[in-house]
């Protein structure tokens, strides 16, 4: 089933701030193709990671900063809807949207837009926050809590 808006993956929480998003552009490399001449489906998680890295750079939530703050965010769930193939040399955009959550987790929604401006894939990931010993955190680390407070006040749009 093709989904449209990000809310189709994560229902909007009444009164929550709008999602935050970041974009990055890429070009399909030859090594990313399968024998059919289209991007191999296993490459899409890497594209989603490119979106998360761009998001981290834009909003100060990078993987290296997380490690310095003594927590990590492993992916515990991933879903991808493939809508249309990408081919060699196609230029495309990856948008990563962080959806608001009251839980101690990161809900990202991704839209990959192809060279004609059409969505070629959509999906989501759920990341739990853990300490460096892989114990699930029950409250947000101070750094994440501060980011969420700024988000709620509308300071991160």
Tokens 């192809």 sit at which residue?
114
- Flag whether pLDDT at 1 surpasses 90: no
Q: pTM of the predicted model, to two decimals?
A: 0.92
- For residue 35, give its domain range: 6-151
Strand order in the sheet with 75-82: 20-27, 91-99, 105-113, 119-128, 75-82
Please state the domain count of the chain. 1
Question: How far apart are the C-alpha atoms of 155 and 157, rounded to whole Å?
Answer: 6
Q: Tell me the per-residue pLDDT of 65-90, one tens digit each, with 9 for 90 and over.
A: 999 999 999 999 999 999 999 999 99
Relative to beta strand 105-113, strand 91-99 is antiparallel
pLDDT of residue 56: 96
pLDDT of residue 27: 98
* 58 domain residue, yes or no: yes
* 110 domain residue, yes or no: yes
Residues 6+ apart with CB under 8 A from 25: 91, 92, 93, 94
pLDDT of residue 3: 39
Q: Tell me the per-residue pLDDT of 37-54, one tens digit each, with 9 for 90 and over.
A: 999 999 999 999 999 999
- Flag whether pLDDT at 5 surpasses 60: no
């Amino acid at each position: 089933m093709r989904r449209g808006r990000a809310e189709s993956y994560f229902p909007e929480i009444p009164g929550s701030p709008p999602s935050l998003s970041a974009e990055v552009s890429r070009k399909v490399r030859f090594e990313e193709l399968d024998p059919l001449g289209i991007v191999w489906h296993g490459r899409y998680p890497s594209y989603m990671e490119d979106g998360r890295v761009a998001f981290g750079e834009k909003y100060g939530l990078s993987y290296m900063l997380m490690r310095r703050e003594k927590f990590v965010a492993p992916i515990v769930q991933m879903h991808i809807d493939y809508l249309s193939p990408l081919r060699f040399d196609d230029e495309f955009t990856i948008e990563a949207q962080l959806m608001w959550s009251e839980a101690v987790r990161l809900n990202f929604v991704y839209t990959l837009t192809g060279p004609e401006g059409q969505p070629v894939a959509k999906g989501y990931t759920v990341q739990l926050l853990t300490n460096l010993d892989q114990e699930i955190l029950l409250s947000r680390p101070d750094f994440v809590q501060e980011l969420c407070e700024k988000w709620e006040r509308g300071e991160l749009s």
